[in-house]
Every structure is written in structure tokens, then in C-alpha cells.
Amino acid sequence: KNSPGYYIHFEKGSSFIAGGSWSPEVEELKKIRKEIAFFYDDLEKILNDADFKKEFKTLSRDENNVLKKAPKGYEPNHPAIEFLKLKSFTASQKIEDKLFSDSDFAKKIAKKLIVMKNFNHFLNRALETED
């Protein structure tokens, strides 16, 4: 099982923090999409939270992560269609190299990642459901 989680990537000039569920297995993907379809209001509330918007803006998207059309079983005009088309459900934020030398680096990063908690909880809730 590919549980949602937290990620810190250290690479000079390309460091970032992230969280969520990256490239879930087919069955997990179906469960997450079902949760989004049925509980879009919950997801919207999480993504519109001021702290989430400040730290992560919204969910990550790139051409390899988004379906061109609505996934099978979902209407193209579903209010959550932009999220239902995702293949990974993550959010990330670039981290400047200079931040690593701050004495309170761990505290700053932890504070940012705590903002991801409600989103990961939403994803975990989806994955805990039985088909």
C-alpha cells in the first residue's frame, strides 16, 4: 500500500517539501477519485484553507500527472473534474538552499508539513474504505 505521507527532497538548487499520494496503484486511485467525487466539499475546504494556500497554493499538476479527458465513470462537467483527472494527489513547495543552514530549520519545515495533515487525512480516509 502506498500510503499518503510527507516528503523532504534535499538537492542543491532543487530542494522541496511535498505531501500526499504520488502515483497510487489502480485500486487506490479509484478509491481516491471516489472520495473526491463524493466529498468534494471536504477537499475544497482543505485546499482553500488559508495556511494550505499560503504554503502549497493547490495540488501539483504537470502534463504527466493529468488525464486529457474525464476518467472512466465520471462526467466531464463534474465540479471536481480538475482533481478527478489527476493521477497523483500531491502538493509541494520549493525550499531555498539557505534555509538548510537556519538553526530552526526542522521547526520551520515541520510547521509547513503540518499544513498537509488534513489533506493526507482526506486521502487516508479514501483508502480505508471498502469496495
pLDDT tens digits, 9-61: 999 999 999 999 999 999 999 999 999 999 999 999 999 999 999 999 999 99
Under 8 Å CB-to-CB from 93, ≥6 apart: which residues? 16, 17, 18, 55, 56, 112
pLDDT bin (cut points 50, 70, 90) of residue 64 is confident
Q: Is the pLDDT of residue 131 over 70?
A: no
Please name the residue that has the C-alpha cell 482526506: 122
pLDDT bin (cut points 50, 70, 90) of residue 116 is very high
Provide the residue range defining the domain that includes 117. Answer: 5-127
Distance of CA 53 to the CA centre of its chain: 12
CB 35 within 8 A of CB 24: no
User: Grid coordinates representing 29?
Assistant: 486511485
Predicted pLDDT of residue 1: 59
Into how many domains does the chain fold?
1
CB 107 within 8 A of CB 101: no
What average pLDDT does the chain have? Answer: 94
